Amino acid sequence: MRLPQSPSFRLDGRRALVTGASSGIGLAAAAALAEAGAEVWLVARRDEELMAARDAIRAAGGRAEAMALDITDLARTAAAVAASGPFDVLVNSAGLARHAPALETTSADYDAVMALNLRAAYFLTREVARGLAAAGKPGSLINISSQMGHVGGPDRAVYCASKHALEGMTKAMAIEWGSKGIRVNTLCPTFIRTPLGEQTLRDHARRSWILSKIKLGRVGEIEDIMGPVIFLASDASAMVTGSALMVDGGWTAE
């Protein structure tokens, strides 16, 4: 009897583009992809932190390059992707949250969140897919969404709107590009202990509410993101597209 063999989680020979890569979830994703063998291109706006992240990955034995880039600049982003691609993997982790009661939302905050979380994500994903299609290559495009792309939350109407839209965008792109072997999925974390997340977690009432919703009884750590990213990027998820991988400790199970 010939037993089936598990698909590889390795990413040797592949090139990955990771946005928001200077800290938090983006940095964890970049480190995970490099550890799995990918050549990782790190993108962020903060040049000093970006170079430090690149150097840390290299020091750990990984292959990494860095591009200081604001992905809301669509023309510059398209040119950078065209010049440096094609990329086999995209992890779009750049994101913004400006929380406020819906009755107090300003148009400036709405526009800023949508410009990064949705508009920039849309056109970046398109440009990476365009490079793959032109090269006749398959690929895995991962948009970092949120559990808030599937539920609502207090003071999060704008953020939820951006992430719900990201989910719909991802499904439509997966349908269009499936015949080209280009997979598109979202990864949906719960509250993760990052420098940004700590601002919410320091509030006792909000932390209590968060822990009451997470069935595993703890907030997420950035390491909780790393395995799911490798899974979605690798051949281990070869039949997964148009899907949302929940990393939410059971928040959305109810």
Containing structural domain, residue 150 = 15-246
Q: What is the pLDDT of residue 186?
A: 98
SS3 call for 216: coil
Measured between alpha carbons, how far is 183 from 140 in angstroms, rounded to an integer?
A: 5
Q: What is the pLDDT of residue 205?
A: 87
User: Would you say residue 27 lies in a domain?
Assistant: yes
pLDDT digits (tens, 9 = 90+) for 139-158: 999 999 999 999 998 999 99
Measured between alpha carbons, how far is 139 from 182 in angstroms, rounded to an integer?
A: 5
Q: What is the pLDDT of residue 46?
A: 87
Measured between alpha carbons, how far is 252 from 34 in angstroms, rounded to an integer?
A: 30
User: Would you say residue 252 lies in a domain?
Assistant: no
Q: What is the pLDDT of residue 69?
A: 95
Give helix 107-114 / helix 157-177 axis angle, nearest 10°.
Answer: 30
Q: What is the pLDDT of residue 201?
A: 83
Residues that are catalytic: 159, 163
Q: Which residues pair with 186 in a beta bridge?
A: 143, 244
pLDDT digits (tens, 9 = 90+) for 188-240: 999 999 877 777 788 888 889 999 999 999 999 999 999 999 999 999 999 99
CB < 8 Å & 24+ apart, contacts of 238-241: 238/7, 238/183, 240/183, 240/185, 241/174, 241/178, 241/183, 241/184, 241/185
- pLDDT tens-digit profile, the chain (254 residues): 999 999 999 999 999 999 999 999 999 999 999 999 999 999 999 889 999 999 999 999 999 999 999 999 999 999 999 999 999 999 999 998 898 999 999 999 999 999 999 999 999 999 999 999 999 999 999 999 999 999 998 999 999 999 999 999 999 999 999 999 999 999 999 999 987 777 778 888 888 999 999 999 999 999 999 999 999 999 999 999 999 999 999 999 98
For residue 102, what are its two tokens? 């819906």
For residue 189, what are its two tokens? 């974390």
Q: What is the pLDDT of residue 138?
A: 98
CATH number for the domain harbouring residue 70: 3.40.50.720
DSSP state of 220: B
Residue whose structure tokens are 């919410």: 200
User: Would you say residue 42 lies in a domain?
Assistant: yes
User: Would you say residue 1 lies in a domain?
Assistant: no
User: Would you say residue 4 lies in a domain?
Assistant: no
Structural domains counted in the chain: 1
Supply angle C-alpha 113, 117, 121, rounded to 5.
Answer: 145
User: Would you say residue 174 lies in a domain?
Assistant: yes
Measured between alpha carbons, how far is 35 from 30 in angstroms, rounded to an integer?
A: 9
| 187, 160 contact by CB (below 8 A) | no
**pTM value > 0.75:** yes
Supply angle C-alpha 99, 152, 154, rounded to 5.
Answer: 40
User: Would you say residue 140 lies in a domain?
Assistant: yes
Cβ neighbours around 10 below 10 Å, total: 14
Burial of 100: CB neighbours in 10 Å, binned 0-12, 13-18, 19+: middle
User: Would you say residue 237 lies in a domain?
Assistant: yes
Q: What is the pLDDT of residue 64?
A: 98
